[in-house]
Amino acid sequence: MLQSPTKVSKMNPSWSWAPIAALAMTLSVGAIISSAAASAQAATEGWQPVWANVSIPQGRTTQFFEYNCPPQFPIVVAGSYAFNSIGQSSGVALGFSGPRIDEYPAKFNGWGFNFNFVNGAPSGVTVTMDIFCAKRG
């Protein structure tokens, strides 16, 4: 679920437009990714709907997510993730990103993401994830 602003403040004349431009660019890229994911899902296979702005609790040192393919496209091919600016500057380390080969028997219909925060996740960290799914050949 995407979050939207709920409060608008008065403009400060000494305020720089650079952050607004960066935000607009980020939102434009996000819209392109979302529309590409939606059309891929509507077609047959490909990128699934984006799992957007998932919060990671403050202080968490390890966070695992699993994103599974729909039954009609049971083979996971790739996964992607992106942190918000707080997450990007938090020193997060990727522990695992791949098919669930850690399961027995190995699961090839789901992608796992494991993120590690050495000093714990700071307040406000969110991550957006996506997976690419295909049919059996």
Segments making up each domain of the chain, as ranges: 18-134
pLDDT digits (tens, 9 = 90+) for 112-134: 999 999 999 999 999 999 999 99
Place of tokens 């020193």: 91
CA–CA separation, 81 and 37 (whole Å): 14
Strand stretches in 5-68, DSSP E? 46-47, 51-55, 62-68
pLDDT digits (tens, 9 = 90+) for 56-80: 999 999 999 999 999 999 999 999 9
The fraction of the chain above a pLDDT of 70, given in percent, is 68
Measured from the Cβ of residue 30, the count of other Cβ atoms closer than 10 Å reads 16
pLDDT in the model for residue 29? 39
Residue 99: partners with Cβ closer than 8 Å, 6 or more residues away: 76, 106, 107, 108, 110, 111, 112
For residue 44, what pLDDT band results from cuts at 50, 70 and 90?
A: low
Query: Containing H/E element for 74?
Result: none
Output the CA angle 63-121-69, nearest 5 degrees: 30
Strand stretches in the chain, DSSP E? 46-47, 51-55, 62-68, 75-83, 92-100, 107-117, 126-134
